[in-house]
Amino acid sequence: MQRVFRAAQRLGLVILSCLLVVGTLTLASAPAAATNYDVKMGSDAGLLVFEPSTITVKPGDSVTWVNNKMAPHNVIFDAANVPGDKALADSISHSQLTFAPGENYATTFTDDMPAGTYTYYCAPHRGAGMVAKVILEK
């Protein structure tokens, strides 16, 4: 009788150990949740800047550019300063101007996009230094 009880205890411990290992591996391999980053177009102080001027993202993350002040604004990725080609820069650019506070654009950085620094600017205010970047890390 004691042998049966001990065997059942051992079997229970083995099953519990297996469940803990499987559970730990499942949680450890779960992908990280995507993050959305907000970038203000025009600072609260009325400066012609993107805030923040640099964002580091991972595949699946999104960036939302929100018209804050000093409109009009847009987001143009510089084909000469992105890791991909002109077609990629054009596909993630938002050339339509925003005029009202709160108007926004969003871009999701996907796994098929090359890692690196994506430089962008506001076309009406590029000469004033309204340039920023998104760094895609993999």
Indicate whether 96 and 62 sit together in one domain. Answer: yes
Indicate whether 25 and 43 sit together in one domain. Answer: no
Indicate whether 15 and 53 sit together in one domain. Answer: no
Q: Where residue 53 sits, what CATH number does that domain have?
A: 2.60.40.420
Q: What are phi and psi of 121, to 5 degrees?
A: -150, 165
Task: State yes or no: is 94 an active-site residue.
Answer: no
Element (H, E) at 55: strand 54-57
Task: State yes or no: is 122 an active-site residue.
Answer: yes
What pLDDT, on a 0 to 100 scale, did the predictor assign at position 15? 60
C-alpha distances out from residue 115 to 3, 58, 59, Å: 60, 9, 9
Catalytic residue among 41, 70, 113, 130: 130
Q: Identify whether the C-beta of residue 88 lies closer than 8 Å to the C-beta of residue 116.
A: no
* pLDDT tens digits, one per residue of 73-129: 999 999 999 998 999 999 999 999 999 999 999 999 999 999 999 999 999 999 999
Indicate whether 54 and 112 sit together in one domain. Answer: yes
Instruction: Provide the residue range defining the domain that includes 115.
Output: 36-136
DSSP at 61: -
